[in-house]
Amino acid sequence: MTALLPGVDVSRETLERLETFSELLTKWTARINLIAPGTVGDVWQRHVIDSAQLFPLAPPDFSHWADLGAGGGLPGLVMAIIAAEKAPAARFTLVESDKRKATFLRQATREISLTARILDQRIEAVPPLAADVISARALKPLPELLTLLTPHLAPGGRAILPKGRRAEEELAEAATSWHFDLIRTPSMTDPDATLLTLERIRRA
């Protein structure tokens, strides 16, 4: 077994699939804006590992993971690749309204032999997903994000949300309208970033 991250030991096959995904991400970024151009030279650390660190924060028995504003598959496709080994019965739904990015997601799932549902719709237009895990990376400030994600979260579900240096400010803003149980986890890839794990999310 090869250690991808502390807490995530994956097989060589899974590492190879992640490497294939990072190559596809780099290739397609030359045509459409999947990741920031300045991060292309460090896709593995800045995007693959940055996404992979979310996996240990999910419940071990999760059955349906939804990634909102999936963009280039970060973290959604990275989660799906790891779950193919670690949680093979789990379903994945990636929501991305940009048709070009959704096309990339479909192509990547085919080339990596993943099973994931890609919805090229606005989040507000998607029927409730009843996901027990929801992620969203660089999508909206937390108060707006909670409004978007709560209709798609199953009772007892968990939201895992990477946030940057404004995390505490966003939490304070959200607390005026929302109640939730919160765990903060420092990012392994960015000293200014935090992973917010939220449960029991409800309106104040």
CA atoms within a 13 Å half-sphere pointing along the CA-CB vector of 134: 28
Q: Which residues are annotated as a binding site for S-adenosyl-L-methionine?
A: 69, 74, 123-124, 137
Kind and range of the H or E element at 201? strand 194-203
Q: How many residues does the chain have?
A: 204
Pick out the residues of the known binding site.
69, 74, 123-124, 137
Please name which of 134, 5, 157 lies closest in space to residue 70, comparing C-alpha atoms: 134
Nearest to residue 7, comparing CAs of 53, 47, 44, 46? 53
Only one residue has tokens 């650390």, namely: 45
